[in-house]
Amino acid sequence: NGSNIAVNFVGASGNTYAWTATQNGTGIAASGTGNTSFTGVNNTNAVVTDTVIVSSSFNTCTPQKDTFAISILPTPKVDSIANMQVCSGSTVSAINFTTPITGSTVGYKWTNSNTQIALGLLAASGFGNIPSFTAPVTAQSSIISVTPYMLKSTTDTCFGTVRTFNIAADLP
């Protein structure tokens, strides 16, 4: 979502290409000739896909058709997380993150501004949900920042907007 996408057709020298695309919201034009590029768009919470049908011609030969799909991932999101007030020394349940995204897997990277909030058991950062921990016996607070992400490929990752919430341990 938001990336420049180039569609380059490759064939014998002298080939011409004409194409049409369904209009499901990826940002590609409805039709064109030759190579094209566009900015991928997805303003939904699901993968958006357009089907492209391309015809290649050479002189008077019968055109050859091929079909392919262009899919645009949504921007990764994490639902709001409420601030937490916990009693010192109490067990804090696991914090499970959720997303409105459907049809794709969203991961979560989080950072913790104060590792003392969990008697040193809550790491400075991690991936996935935050495991259960014991709140400290002293008054402490921490800001947790959560970054949602999706893997586009083995070497490319999309990151969404960071959400933060506070965990405060109060003395009894």
- Is the pLDDT assigned to residue 68 strictly greater than 60? yes
Name the token pair of 87: 């009693």
- Is the pLDDT assigned to residue 169 strictly greater than 90? no
- Is the pLDDT assigned to residue 2 strictly greater than 80? no
Average pLDDT over residues 75-79: 95
Q: How many CB atoms lie within 10 A of CB 169?
A: 26
pLDDT band at 121 (very low <50, low <70, confident <90, very high): low
The pTM of the full predicted model, rounded to 2 decimals, is 0.80
**Dist. CA 146–CA 82, nearest whole Å:** 12
pLDDT in tens, 3-53: 899 999 988 788 889 999 998 899 999 999 999 999 999 999 999 999 999
pLDDT at residue 107, as a whole number: 95
- Is the pLDDT assigned to residue 117 strictly greater than 80? no
The percent of residues in the chain predicted with pLDDT above 90, rounded, is 57
End-to-end CA distance of the chain: 48
Who's near 61: CB < 8 A, 6+ residues apart?
A: none
Q: How many CB atoms lie within 10 A of CB 5?
A: 14
- Is the pLDDT assigned to residue 54 strictly greater than 80? yes
